[in-house]
Amino acid sequence: MTDIATPAETGTAQPVRVTDTDADRALKAKHRAMWASGDYPTLASELIWSLGPILVDATGVHPGDRVLDVAAGSGNAAIPAALRGGAVVASDLAPELFEAGRRRATEAGVELEWREADAEALPFADDAFDVTLSCVGVMFAPHHRQAADELVRVTRSHGRIGLLSWTPEGFIGQMFKTMKPYAAPLPEGAQPAPLWGDEQHVRELLGDRVTDVTAERRTIGMDVLATPEAFRDYFKTHYGPTIAVYHRIADDPAQVEALDAALAELARQHGAGHPGTAFEWEYLLVTARVR
């Protein structure tokens, strides 16, 4: 299934974008509610805040650059970009996350614009930005091709795109694999988020519209939440996707018990709770320049 419905499928004279359909609007409403649940801003601050500056450094944000952070959450890339002197717009499908971001930006002494926006239908003009970023954000847009098209569209010629995504093989990618048997099936046409952590997939999405592509697998180390069970329980209360899966199986104690055990074991296999063993989460860092 493509991201554009044909006239025969829609009964209209012109193609209809996925984002224009009732089904997609309902899907995006579910996504917004999912990310607004729990406490993602606290998770981002406590576990992965350091990823934002890494992405900003990799894309070489300069003073005066017009910067868009797509699926910005509470701003762990947008705020470092503003600290570098960029004129930053932080966009996200879930504006409920912005309050924490605004507080953090005020504490950092920077100003930026916060804008509700669907990564698959960005409300910005063509060529509007010098740098377009996404730090473990755009990867969760369900229609990858459409999201990639938007990243390229809003970035000016010779502008930079920077993407940081969890890999399928890393801890977060494997967490999604572990949760899959208990989660709702992906809607028709949607693709799994961790595919954005596969270099070949991202290269195919961006295609020949970009040049100077770099891709590097890296890891971020975790030294908090000492036990596997602590990591599992933290995600159960803070992370929207995990909360959504547990909500779906809440009436089945056997499934809840099985998922509890599986997530704790996954954390254990990746080194959580083992003194002297690194607990690291792998991500893919991609940069490119629009032709």
d(CA 258, CA 260): 5
In total, the chain counts a number of residues equal to 291
- In this predicted structure, what is the pLDDT of residue 18? 67
User: Is 30 in a helix, a strand, or coil?
Assistant: helix
Look at residue 87 and tell me if it is in a domain: yes
Look at residue 122 and tell me if it is in a domain: yes
Which amino acid is located at 182 in the chain? Answer: Y
- In this predicted structure, what is the pLDDT of residue 14? 36
> What DSSP assignment string belongs to 28-74?
HHHHHHHHHSTTHHHHIIIIITTHHHHHHHHHT--TT-EEEETT-TT
d(CA 159, CA 164): 17
Centre a 10 Å sphere on the Cβ of residue 39 and count the other Cβ atoms it contains: 17
d(CA 288, CA 65): 16
pLDDT in tens, 8-62: 332 333 334 667 799 999 999 999 999 999 999 999 999 999 999 999 999 999 9
Look at residue 239 and tell me if it is in a domain: no
Q: How many domains does the chain have?
A: 1
Look at residue 233 and tell me if it is in a domain: no
CATH label of the domain that carries residue 190:
3.40.50.150
N- to C-terminal Cα separation, the chain: 28
d(CA 84, CA 151): 21
Tell me the residue range of the domain where 129 lies: 4-222+278-290
Look at residue 256 and tell me if it is in a domain: no
Look at residue 260 and tell me if it is in a domain: no
- In this predicted structure, what is the pLDDT of residue 272? 85
- pTM greater than 0.85: yes
Which amino acid is located at 230 in the chain? Answer: A
> What DSSP assignment string belongs to 137-174?
-GGGSS-HHHHHHHHHHTEEEEEEEEEEEE-SSSHHHH
Look at residue 34 and tell me if it is in a domain: yes
Look at residue 237 and tell me if it is in a domain: no
Q: Are 215 and 286 in contact (CB under 8 A)?
A: yes
Q: Are 115 and 91 in contact (CB under 8 A)?
A: yes
Q: Which residues of the chain have pLDDT under 50?
A: 1-16
Q: Are 175 and 263 in contact (CB under 8 A)?
A: yes
